[in-house]
């Protein structure tokens, strides 16, 4: 079998612990033997981030921006315990946050659906893709305690000096208040990302807000999406027979439970934070959740598994024990990155490889060969295999 030649590079971001063990195995066993690929590798292990004062994270993001395709392994976001464990110079921020800010993208979280694996919400037969607008709102808010009573007011000073003062509440006793904001630029980029993703994924798009209550704030989200849809995306959506619709958040959560999946849900920041965890649970396993960061124009893509570095399994691995860690979400991160490279380069062979890689994983799981996390979901009679055994099956499927 001759190797598939890929003309343009992919940015490969390595990470930590068990996720890193899986990562290296994927490259050695599933990618390098079959694809002639120029990988631009950045080591974002916590040790190397510390050594480079986190410069490596910024470099990796810039490289994704230039090369348009990145694939990222899970990395440790240090807390106080990790700072001690690795004797770090400081508590570095989450690499995902740093990369997202540089790429100015939206994260789309999509479950991998396997027929054989039961779901908590049984009738979700197709993915629900959550798009979270990860800017502003409560995450950039300022809060006050009112003390023993007083007046809460909002003051906005226009550039030309005109001041708008709005009375919020006259407190008679203890309470709390807050203020938050968003920008039209950020909402517009979010809207672009969502429309472009829907078209590429061939799924309808729903935006949810509470615009009946927030008639300026949430209504602006609806307005910006509506205007952009009419101006730039309506034709393409109609051609593909896709629907775009705004719905009230309460109506949307009811629909989520009623419907069987198969749509992209554009969520405001807090809604996306909460609903992505709800949807992940509804579909079942963290080991089957993938995540794509995409730029507004849809050109730049970074893929990853949604799970973390799986520390508990890494401890076993360090003790020389074989583990049954689920590599599927990480393999799908690679297949999705290869697919984006294939589409940008019009490389049919590479696209076919990426489609087959996903197909082989799903077929293997559906035949009942799966790791322990998934077997536990199927019930006490379901046998499980080790990570190494799972890789052996996939390798032999690719070869034959
Ligand atoms: P985690 O690594 O996702 O693991 C939580 C638990 O979920 C594991 O202990 C394991 O359960 C199960 N699990 C997750 N992925 C699995 C897989 N592929 N196969 C089998 N079981 C799997 O989350 P965490 O323990 O909260 O975080 C560990 C580290 O990861 C932290 O340092 C955190 O900062 C980092 N993290 C990184 C990212 C990212 O880079 N995107 C995301 C989240 C967390 P059992 O132990 O019961 O088997
Ligand atoms: Mg959350």
Give residue limits of the domains in the chain.
1-112+298-400, 120-136+182-283, 142-179
Is the beta carbon of 276 within 6 A of some atom in ligand 1? no
Cα(298) to centroid(ligand 1), Å: 28
Q: Which ligand lies nearest the alpha carbon of 275?
A: 2
Q: What is the DSSP secondary structure assignment for residue 67, as one 8-state letter?
A: H
pLDDT given for residue 53 in this prediction: 97
Q: Check whether 284 has a pLDDT greater than 80.
A: no
pLDDT given for residue 90 in this prediction: 95
pLDDT given for residue 282 in this prediction: 85
Q: Check whether 144 has a pLDDT greater than 80.
A: yes
- In the chain, % of residues over pLDDT 90: 90
Atom of ligand 1 nearest to the CA of 19: 18
Q: Indicate the burial class of 181 (C-beta count within 10 angstroms; 0-12, 13-18, 19 or more).
A: exposed
CA distance between the termini of the chain: 10
Which structure tokens are listed for 109? 């979280």
Protein residues near ligand 2, an ion, with CB under 5 A: 273, 277
How do residues 295-343 score in pLDDT, each as one tens digit?
999 999 999 999 999 999 999 999 999 999 999 999 999 999 999 999 9
Q: Which ligand lies nearest the alpha carbon of 134?
A: 2
Q: Check whether 134 has a pLDDT greater than 90.
A: no
pLDDT given for residue 325 in this prediction: 97
Cα(138) to centroid(ligand 2), Å: 13
Q: Check whether 294 has a pLDDT greater than 90.
A: yes
Is the beta carbon of 14 within 6 A of some atom in ligand 1? no
pLDDT given for residue 104 in this prediction: 85
pLDDT given for residue 273 in this prediction: 86
Evaluate whether 232 touches 195 at the Cβ level (below 8 Å): yes
Any residues with CB less than 8 A from the CB of 259 and at least 6 apart, and which?
none
Cα(91) to centroid(ligand 1), Å: 19
Cα(326) to centroid(ligand 2), Å: 22
Which SS3 state, helix, strand or coil, does residue 62 take? helix
Which SS3 state, helix, strand or coil, does residue 222 take? helix
Q: Which ligand lies nearest the alpha carbon of 130?
A: 2
Cα(32) to centroid(ligand 1), Å: 26
pLDDT given for residue 400 in this prediction: 84
At residue 391 the predicted structure's pLDDT band, cuts being 50, 70 and 90, is very high
Is the beta carbon of 323 within 6 A of some atom in ligand 1? no
- Mean pLDDT over the full length of the chain: 95
At residue 62 the predicted structure's pLDDT band, cuts being 50, 70 and 90, is very high
Is the beta carbon of 96 within 6 A of some atom in ligand 1? yes
Q: Check whether 218 has a pLDDT greater than 90.
A: yes
Q: What is the mean pLDDT of residues 6-22?
A: 98
Is the beta carbon of 73 within 6 A of some atom in ligand 1? no
- In the chain, % of residues over pLDDT 70: 100
Is the beta carbon of 19 within 6 A of some atom in ligand 1? no
Q: Check whether 31 has a pLDDT greater than 80.
A: yes
**Higher per-residue confidence, 120 vs 4:** 4
Q: What is the mean pLDDT of residues 39-53?
A: 98
How do residues 185-196 score in pLDDT, each as one tens digit?
999 999 999 999
Nearest-angstrom CA–CA distance, 218 and 212: 8
Cα(229) to centroid(ligand 1), Å: 38
Q: Check whether 280 has a pLDDT greater than 90.
A: no
Task: For domain 1-112+298-400, say whether CATH 3.40.718.10 is its number.
Answer: yes
DSSP states of 81-110 as a string? Answer: HHHHHTT-SS-PPPHHHHHHHHHT-EEEEE
Atom of ligand 1 nearest to the CA of 82: 32
H or E element, residue 333:
helix 328-345
Cα(353) to centroid(ligand 2), Å: 33
pLDDT given for residue 194 in this prediction: 97
Residue to probe by mutation, ligand 1, list 45, 309, 312, 317, most atoms within 8 Å of CB: 309
Q: Which of 116-125, 188-197, 317-326, 377-386 has the lowest mean pLDDT?
A: 116-125
Which structure tokens are listed for 12? 């490969």
Cα(277) to centroid(ligand 2), Å: 6
Q: What is the mean pLDDT of residues 238-256?
A: 97
Q: What is the mean pLDDT of residues 52-66?
A: 98
At residue 277 the predicted structure's pLDDT band, cuts being 50, 70 and 90, is confident
Q: Which ligand lies nearest the alpha carbon of 269?
A: 2
């Amino acid at each position: 079998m001759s190797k598939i030649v890929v003309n343009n590079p992919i940015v490969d971001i390595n990470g930590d612990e068990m996720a890193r063990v899986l990562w290296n195995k994927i490259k050695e066993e599933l990618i390098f033997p079959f694809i002639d690929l120029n990988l631009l590798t950045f080591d974002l292990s916590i040790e190397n981030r510390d050594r480079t004062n986190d410069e490596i994270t910024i470099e990796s993001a810039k490289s994704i921006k230039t090369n348009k395709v990145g694939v990222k392994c899970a990395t440790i976001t240090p807390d106080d315990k990790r700072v001690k464990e690795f004797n770090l110079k400081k508590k570095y921020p989450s690499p995902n946050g740093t990369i997202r800010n540089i790429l100015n993208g939206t994260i789309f979280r999509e479950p991998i659906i396997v027929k054989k694996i039961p779901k908590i919400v049984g009738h979700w037969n197709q993915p629900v893709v959550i798009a979270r607008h990860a800017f502003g709102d409560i995450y950039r808010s300022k809060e006050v305690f009112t003390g023993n009573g007083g007046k809460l007011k909002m003051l906005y000073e226009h550039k030309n000096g005109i001041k708008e003062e709005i009375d919020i509440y006259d407190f008679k006793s203890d309470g709390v208040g807050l203020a938050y904001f968003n920008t039209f630029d950020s909402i517009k980029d979010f809207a672009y990302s969502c429309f472009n993703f829907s078209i590429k994924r061939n799924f309808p798009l729903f935006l949810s807000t509470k615009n009946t209550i927030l008639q300026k704030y949430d209504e602006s989200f609806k307005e910006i999406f509506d205007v952009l849809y009419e101006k730039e995306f309506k034709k393409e959506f109609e051609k593909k027979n896709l629907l775009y619709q705004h719905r009230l958040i309460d109506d949307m959560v009811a629909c989520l439970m009623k419907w069987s999946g198969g749509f992209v849900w554009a969520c405001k920041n807090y809604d996306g934070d909460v609903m992505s965890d709800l949807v992940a649970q509804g579909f079942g396993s963290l080991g089957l959740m993938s995540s794509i960061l995409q730029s507004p124009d849809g050109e730049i893509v970074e893929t990853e598994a949604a799970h973390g570095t799986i520390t508990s399994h890494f401890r076993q691995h360090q003790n020389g024990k074989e583990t049954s860690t689920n590599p599927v979400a990480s393999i799908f991160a690679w297949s999705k990155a290869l697919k984006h490279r294939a589409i940008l380069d019009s490389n049919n062979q590479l696209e076919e490889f990426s489609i087959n890689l996903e197909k082989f994983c799903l077929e293997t799981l559906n035949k009942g060969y799966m790791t322990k996390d998934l077997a536990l979901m199927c019930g006490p009679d379901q046998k499980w295999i080790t990570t190494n055994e799972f890789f052996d099956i996939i390798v032999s499927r690719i070869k034959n």
